[in-house]
Copies of this chain bind each other. A is one copy, B any other.
Amino acid sequence: MFEARLVQGSLFKKVLDAIKDLVNEANWDCSATGLSMQAMDSAHVSLCFIDLNAEGFDPYRCDRNLTLGLNINNLSKIMKCAANDDVVTIRAEDNADAVNLIFESPNQEKVSEYSMMLMNIDSEHLGIPETEYSATIKMPSAELQRICRDLSQIGDSVTITCVKDSVRFSSSGELGSGNVSLRENTSVDKEDDEVSIDLHEACNLTFASRYLNFFTKATPLSNTVKLSLKSDVPLVVEYKVGDIGSIKLV
């Protein structure tokens, strides 16, 4: 028996919104330590890692390890049926062929219960190799989303150039070229507005605008985002999922 109850159910709605355009189907691994998902996007270009800690749920019960193979688009449709203030419970019997999603309104007067068939999905366990990145940037997530959206008007790829004290995003295409520079700024009133750069080596890397726009769909999850850059290694874009976990897009 697996059961995980999330009081701030809207977080799980936002997780699904973040990945539903990227991932078609995926295995969710349930263990004593939490719930995690690893998947490639349907074009096999990017990877998506989600980790939600057992401590973030109340209660969290996982009698033995389970793998729940789920169609992400269908799961997202069902999660849309949860109100933003609903408490969300995910429940599966051992060896069951379905997962149950239960949404309870805060006043307990409305209870919705959805059942969704499980799938058998082939997957290899993937990981992000441990590496020391040349640059790690923490910045407001809405700013990153805005920059990626703006520059994708200009060209199909975005180059991120990180030097001491500043990061520059640039693109060029038929209508011209554009670049956006952010200065490191750690003396702001709100920590979430901070732009901080942890630089070991200046770097200059290019990524597809299309995937950056996919990745930044996770923006509603967190006010800040962390970018990790290194030559010949994929960009890692990481958002916190409240204080219960994280989503990494690679």
Contact = CB atoms under 8 A, between A and B. Distances in A.
Report how many copies the assembly holds: 3
B177 A109 contact: no
B110 A176 contact: no
Interface string A164-198: 00000000000111111111010000000001000
Contacts of A181: 110-113
A230 B156 CA distance: 51
Contact of A195 (B81, B109, B182): B109
Contacts of A113: 178-179, 181
A178 B78 contact: yes
Grouping DSSP codes into helix (H, G, I), strand (E, B) and loop, the A interface class, with mixed when no group exceeds half, is strand
B116 A179 contact: no
A111 B181 CA distance: 5
Contact of A115 (B108, B116, B153, B177): B177
Nearest to A116: B176
Nearest to A71: B175
B112 A176 contact: no
Given A77-B153, A110-B183, 14 more contacts: A78-B153, A78-B154, A78-B178, A80-B150, A110-B143, A110-B182, A112-B178, A112-B179, A112-B180, A113-B178, A113-B179, A114-B176, A114-B177, A114-B179
23 contacts: A74-B176, A77-B153, A78-B154, A78-B175, A78-B176, A80-B150, A81-B153, A81-B154, A81-B178, A83-B146, A98-B176, A109-B182, A109-B185, A109-B195, A110-B143, A110-B180, A110-B181, A111-B180, A111-B181, A112-B180, A113-B179, A114-B176, A117-B175
Closest 3 CB pairs of A and B: A81-B150, A116-B176, A114-B178
